[in-house]
Amino acid sequence: MNVKWIATPKRTREILEKHGFSFKRSLGQNFIIDVNILNNIMQKAGIDKRAGAIEIGPGIGALTEQLAVHADKVIAYEIDQRLLPILDDTLAAYDNIQVIHQDVLDADVNDMLKAYFKPDQPIHVVANLPYYITTPILMKLLRANLPVTSFTVMIQKEVAERMAAKPNRKSYGSLSIAIQYYTQAEVVMNVAKSAFMPPPNVDSSVLKLIRRESAPVQVDDEDYFFNMVQACFAQRRKTLRNNLISHFKSSADKETVSNILRKAGINEARRGESLTMEEFAVLANTFFRELEC
């Protein structure tokens, strides 16, 4: 192991002490201190010298450094101004990194990609995401239709399992459908708390999302589809019929809801966790055509 890598306990402590840095738990700051894990992430993400990489929350630059070594160019979004001079110091040896002081939720990522990467360059998001804001970040990037090939992200283990879950699993829900509508999702590795400084309060996993070229189902209206999915999981122990009666209480009576469920060919006594994405699409399209058209 190269003792100069940022991602070691000794080097991380030296950097923090040198700059007098203190962690802000409100920003979900947990820095990786195991370079072997970072090398595994590079392999899982498929990063090579042709690739462009986007990182969110670089911290003191442990993952950023490995991306700079393995990829062609790197863009890193950092919200904490205190980390900018630290990153200038720790990443001074690399000329292929662009650190942007901005909240990625407010950023026009597409414009930055056009300005920084080649038009035909494969682009990957690789990040140790702040756990408190994982879902909003991923959903913003997925719905923005960016020219990104894959997302390989370190997130809370429980959330990773929900995003990759299949029907009839306890972890399967509206988040599973939302993520898998845009991507193929797989948990590719788990990471111990001891790999971070400070150790987080939750277990972590690396989730890989491969962007789909097109949605796996045809829906008449995407927003309507996602709203229907959320309605079906509103109270997990309730049947589809009861959840949808509550959802449509201002626009359809109980009998109408039951009739549309029959028309969709879906048993009203089922629960949301038993439906495949294809069945949710049929359900949403049938309700949309009966009630909105």
Q: What number of other Cβ atoms are within 10 A of residue 264's Cβ?
A: 18
User: Could you tell me which of 182, 121, 122, 188 has the C-alpha nearest to residue 154?
Assistant: 188
Annotated binding residue at 30? yes
| pLDDT tens readout for residues 113-130 | 999 999 999 999 999 998
Q: Spell out the residues 6+ positions from residue 289 whose beta carbon is closer than 8 angstroms to its own.
A: 220
Annotated binding residue at 39? no
pLDDT at 235 over 50: yes
Annotated binding residue at 128? yes
Is the CB of residue 137 less than 8 Å from the CB of residue 106?
no
Annotated binding residue at 96? no
- Which domains are present in the chain? 9-211 (3.40.50.150), 222-291 (1.10.8.100)
pTM: 0.94
Q: What residue ranges in the chain does DSSP mark as E strands? A: 31-32, 52-56, 73-78, 97-101, 123-128, 150-156, 183-191, 196-197, 204-211
| Percent of the chain predicted with pLDDT > 90 | 93
Annotated binding residue at 78? yes
| pLDDT tens readout for residues 138-183 | 999 999 989 999 999 999 999 999 999 999 999 999 999 999 999 9
CA–CA separation, 138 and 13 (whole Å): 30
Residue 113, amino acid:
L
Annotated binding residue at 47? no
